Amino acid sequence: MVITPILVSLCGWASYDAVTVALASDVLASMLSAYTYYKNKNIDVKRGSLVTITAFLGTVVGSYCGYLFSQAQPDGLGYISMLTTIFLGIKFLLKPITDGEDSAKSLRSAAELKKIVLAMVCGCGIGWVCGFTGSGGGILMFTVFTLLLQYNLKIAVGTSTMIMTLVALTGTISHVTMGATIYPLPMFLTVASCLFGAAVSSRFANRCEIKKLNKVVGVTLTVLGIFTIGIKIL
């Protein structure tokens, strides 16, 4: 959500190459964040593992579709990422996620099984989005967890980061296989920076009050989206 718009608008990278770096950066960052949430008991491993399977399949297909789209519209993926960033930032500010379950319910009831099947279907679609744009996967994933499974913000984010570890790795490999250009030093610096940011922010998020957390995320995404798309246009 952050890396693709910055690399496209400020650094002039091709969209498909920027998406590859964004996905690669998300692998270790998501892994570290997921571990932090797991230690704080803010991950639903059982349901998250089921959604991971369908998200994996969607990511492979999305990566291929992103490659085809980037050939026809070189800057298209970049603009999509910037606009999505603004939209989600405003969403957090206007409709914050402030409630939800603190722990996972049993999967035995028919209603709960129906919810998890629907979440798996959505996971496949979100995997496609992540593979296609390199952004939005984690945010869209926890939106599914909050709306369908009624998780609170922390468990939704924690479970999403666990899923995004595999999804991002799959997307990275798919993009490289399809011919994305890799710049070793910029990628290393970006991945290292994301890893540091994940270590700091995940600790803050687990200790932060949920209403405040919504405002922080909302303001950050909105400002970033407006800034990057402004730079690109000008």
What is the token pair recorded at 119? 């979440």
pLDDT at 133: 64
Q: Whole-model pTM?
A: 0.62
Residue 219 has pLDDT above 70, yes or no: yes
At position 108, the amino acid (one-letter code) is R
Determine the average pLDDT of the residues in 156-180: 81
- Which one is predicted more confidently, 102 or 181? 181
Residue with tokens 């099947």, as numbered in its chain: 117
Determine the average pLDDT of the residues in 177-186: 84
Residue 74 is given by DSSP the state T
Dihedral angle over CA of 163, 168, 173, 178, nearest 10: 120
Query: Is residue 152 within 8 Å of 210, Cβ to Cβ?
Result: yes
Mind listing the pLDDT tens digit for each residue in 4-54? Answer: 777 877 788 887 788 788 888 888 888 888 888 888 888 888 777 888 888
What is the token pair recorded at 89? 């930032």
DSSP string, 95-159: S-----BSSPPPS-SHHHHHHHHHHHHHHHHHHHHHHHHSSSHHHHHHHHHHHHS-B-HHHHHHH
pLDDT at 226: 79
Quick one: pLDDT band at residue 204, thresholds 50, 70, 90? Answer: confident
Percent of the chain whose pLDDT exceeds 90: 0
